């Protein structure tokens, strides 16, 4: 990570209407700061830093209060006729697009198809105009209906553990820096700094649209997916899981995901 990328990340988590610059922190001098560290291709050294106005005067900066959309690895026991993206992503991707782990002899037991933008949040997807950016020529029935949220351009083939980590917002992909992978939590040294593997995709209409990639951590308590959905069944009597604010949000997400095929059918009928 160089200074340019670090500034980019800081702008996503910090909130200020004023200009600021990172300075080296130096408690041995009255001003408590050393030289400024402007955006550059230089790699930051380990140490302590302080944010100030460009003229080195104090500044007030807050945290960006926006939190990530609720998403988690869903285990559905409801048959669906709208899972075309799984077949299509297997046909497109010969490996995990993050780690590079290859698919051997058609064995996908270690892989999962992951949506870039969660399908249960298709209202936000549509509101932001993402359907207009999808150039996938497949029939509407195979891309999630008029919203096109199940398009191959909104899906990645990932190693199973990385699929779950993606849904937990434990790492992100920066589409503005060569699709570089940036972990938000420890334990992902094997993928940190790697670039998304896209060279095998010759058709631009099949290319993942990464404009909506996650570049900020969850900002919410860790959700116990195994306890809530380990057997694929939603036990609504578990008030300890579904009763709080986070539980209600996850319940809404889970229902939206499981009823996705019904919603697509209704929209297709209206569209026709």
CA–CA separation, 208 and 166 (whole Å): 15
State both tokens at 272: 């026709």
Exposed, middle or buried, 207 (CB in 10 Å: 0-12/13-18/19+)? Answer: middle
**Interstrand relation of 21-25 and 14-15 (parallel, antiparallel or unpaired):** unpaired
The predicted structure's pLDDT at residue 67: 64
Q: Would the pLDDT of 119 be above 60?
A: yes
Q: Give the pLDDT confidence of 1-32 residue by residue, as tens digits.
A: 789 988 988 888 888 889 999 999 998 988 88
| CB 21 within 8 Å of CB 38 | yes
Answer whether 0.85 is exceeded by the pTM.
no
**Looking at residue 81, what is its pLDDT?**
57
Q: Are 182 and 86 in contact (CB under 8 A)?
A: no
Q: Which pLDDT score, from 0 to 100, does residue 65 have?
A: 73
More confident residue, 164 or 155: 155
pLDDT at residue number 175: 83
Beta strands in 100-145 (DSSP E): 111-115
Measured on CA atoms in the order 134, 137, 142, 147, is the torsion positive or negative? positive
DSSP class of residue 215 equals -
Please check the confidence at residue 271 and state whether its pLDDT lies above 60: no
- Whether pLDDT at 213 is above 90: no
């Amino acid at each position: 990570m160089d200074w340019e990328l670090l500034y980019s990340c800081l702008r996503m988590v910090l909130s200020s209407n004023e200009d600021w610059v990172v300075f080296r922190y130096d408690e041995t001098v009255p001003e408590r700061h050393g030289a400024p560290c402007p955006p550059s291709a230089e790699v930051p050294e380990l140490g302590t830093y302080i944010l100030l106005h460009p003229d080195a005067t104090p500044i007030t900066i807050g945290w960006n209060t926006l939190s990530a959309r609720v998403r988690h690895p869903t285990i559905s026991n409801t048959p669906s006729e709208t899972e075309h993206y799984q077949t299509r992503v297997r046909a497109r991707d010969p490996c995990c697009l993050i780690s590079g782990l290859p698919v051997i002899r058609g064995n996908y037991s270690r892989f999962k198809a992951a949506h870039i933008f969660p399908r249960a949040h298709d209202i936000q997807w549509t509101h932001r105009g993402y359907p207009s950016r999808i150039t996938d020529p497949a029939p509407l029935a195979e891309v999630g209906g008029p919203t096109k949220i199940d398009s191959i351009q909104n899906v990645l083939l990932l190693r199973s553990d990385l699929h779950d980590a993606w849904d937990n917002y434990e790492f992100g992909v920066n589409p503005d820096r060569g699709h570089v992978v940036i972990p938000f939590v420890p334990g992902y040294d094997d993928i940190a700094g790697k670039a998304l593997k896209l060279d095998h995709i010759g058709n631009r209409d099949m290319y993942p649209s990464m404009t909506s990639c996650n570049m900020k951590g969850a900002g919410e308590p860790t959700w116990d997916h195994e306890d809530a959905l380990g057997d694929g069944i939603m036990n609504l009597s578990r008030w300890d899981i579904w009763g709080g604010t986070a539980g209600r949000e996850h319940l809404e997400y889970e229902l939206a995901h499981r009823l996705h095929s019904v919603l697509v059918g209704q929209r297709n009928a209206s569209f026709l």
